[in-house]
A and B are shown apart, each in its own frame.
Chain A
């Protein structure tokens, strides 16, 4: 029982980060109409930016957090014209060609991280970030600062995002474009600038995720982005591409599943087992558990 509770805590906190990432991924898919497969790599790059800033400012936490968020937003907004150019050249929305562009961005990030930071070795975040600080310990159950913050901030960020989506002018335009881009254009919604806003908002979500990941796992490596990217893509497909509510459920589910496997079977097998289970799900429900929303 204690193991289960401990692993549920682990799972939900990791899952809330997956939820943030898959929400950003889905928003780009729905509004900017791109498959930004490498979005998690942008997030991991932002973790590295935070690491560098922490290192050279004597662990100034505020600057570290701001730097990660700024890096993520900047990377996303800077890549927006590239994606939009590719789509314009094709004369129509072409999700496949944007996916190739996204993979290219991902590979460049991975290469830069493995050559230019810490000689390619994984970077460890300083204790000052406080992610591993213990808040509660009872038997096998322990609660760290990183877990509490990941869950708390995750819930706040996702709620704020849904509030924006359902209660604001921009959110209304996002939903209209997601449902029918052509129809949105006919009623006067500017597709380019609204799409641009979605890059900025996913950048913000990504920056927040970067800090939460840094606190929760305490380290980052050049290969982390790709690993997370596979999971985010898988979660989005399993939930149903573009299905925001589905992504919420499946993102949390994957976090819990991984944690439970780690607790009861083996930590080193958690990825493989999670992917086997997802494979089975996708065989049974090819359009995702909650249905594709594109």
Chain B
């Protein structure tokens, strides 16, 4: 799909938790049809950025525009209703609830389309369909990641934000998850990804931003970043 108009625009965004400044004047863009990856070490501000876009943190400065509408400081449930969903770091699966209930939670604001969306999610992740009545706590890490991604699809989002999809997963499972991400993108979903596993992420992304201590240190196409000596040294271990 050809990247075209700007779907999400973050402009000069600053966020603090008490005295700790998590983001300092971050600007970035995600265009429709892209996979954009945020690269950075632990604490660089990747999760803070995603959570601020979702409306969890209130920014002290800057603006967030989605589909041309300002969503800065909007409550998370309204942002989700507006078409952004988050796959949280560590999956955020509700272990004591069934797989089906977890999926339906994602459809909280979109319940009338839930049957059709459920069918689609089960087509993509047949395993979730087989286990829909099992408690989510019985799933493995990779299966939980699939459940979390499936849940985000239930909201029929225009933008899916995935926070550290590979964290805590075996390499072979990580490969599957990235295949899923690419597949979703081909199906038309725009994806903003945060990842410490920079190589894998850049391999599947169109563009990337390198975050360092809360600000954008570098940006470019995925190929440019993969070739950048600084990136290679700091994030690719080369």
Contacts and interface: CB of A to CB of B under 8 A. Distances in A.
* Binding between chains A and B: yes
A188 B97 contact: no
Contacts of A183: 88, 92, 94
Given A186-B86, A187-B151, A176 B109 contact: no
A134 B40 CA distance: 75
Contacts of A179: 94-97
A186 B77 CA distance: 8
Contact of A187 (B51, B75, B106, B111): B106
A175 interface: yes
B54 interface: yes
Given A172-B101, A172-B105, A173-B108, A186 B92 contact: yes
Contacts of A180: 92, 94
A169 B108 contact: yes
A190 B108 CA distance: 10
A175 B92 contact: no
A194 to B, nearest CB: 9
A188 B56 contact: no
A95 interface: no
Given A189-B105, A190-B77, A176 B94 contact: yes
B56 A186 contact: yes
Contacts of B101: 172, 175
A184 B152 CA distance: 12
B52 to A, nearest CB: 12
Contact of A186 (B54, B81, B96, B111): B54
B192 interface: no
A185 B108 CA distance: 12
Contacts of A188: 76-77, 79-81, 85, 106, 108-109, 155
A173 B101 CA distance: 10
Interface in A61-98: none
B97 A187 contact: no
Interface string B63-99: 0000000000001110111000110100010111100
B181 interface: no
B13 interface: no
A186 B76 contact: yes
A175 B97 contact: yes
B88 A169 contact: no
A293 B123 CA distance: 35
Contacts of B106: 187-188
A191 B193 CA distance: 26
A184 B108 CA distance: 11
Contacts of B86: 186-187
A169 B155 contact: no
B96 to A, nearest CB: 5
Interface in B103-160: 104-106, 108-109, 111, 151-152, 155
Contacts of B80: 187-188
Interface in A154-181: 169, 172-173, 175-176, 179-180
B159 to A, nearest CB: 13
Nearest to B152: A187
B62 to A, nearest CB: 21
A23 B149 CA distance: 34
A22 to B, nearest CB: 20
A169 B54 CA distance: 22
Contacts of B79: 188
Task: Point out which of A169, A184, A185, A187 has the most chain B C-beta atoms below 10 A from its C-beta.
Answer: A187
A74 B94 CA distance: 32
Nearest to A180: B94
A88 to B, nearest CB: 13
A175 B75 contact: no
A173 B76 contact: no
Contacts of A186: 51, 54, 56, 76, 86, 88, 92
Nearest to A293: B96
Nearest to A186: B88
A188 B109 CA distance: 8
Given A187-B80, A188-B77, A188-B85, A175 B108 contact: no
Contacts of B108: 169, 172-173, 187-189
Given A173-B105, A176-B105, A185 B94 contact: no
Contact of B92 (A169, A173, A187, A190): A187
A190 B79 CA distance: 11
Interface of B: 51, 54, 56, 75-77, 79-81, 85-86, 88, 92, 94-97, 101, 104-106, 108-109, 111, 151-152, 155
Interface of A: 169, 172-173, 175-176, 179-180, 183-190
12 contacts: A169-B111, A172-B104, A187-B85, A187-B88, A187-B151, A188-B77, A188-B80, A188-B106, A188-B109, A189-B105, A189-B108, A190-B76
Q: What 9 A-B pairs come out closest when comparing CB atoms?
A: A188-B80, A190-B77, A183-B92, A186-B88, A188-B77, A179-B94, A179-B96, A187-B105, A176-B105
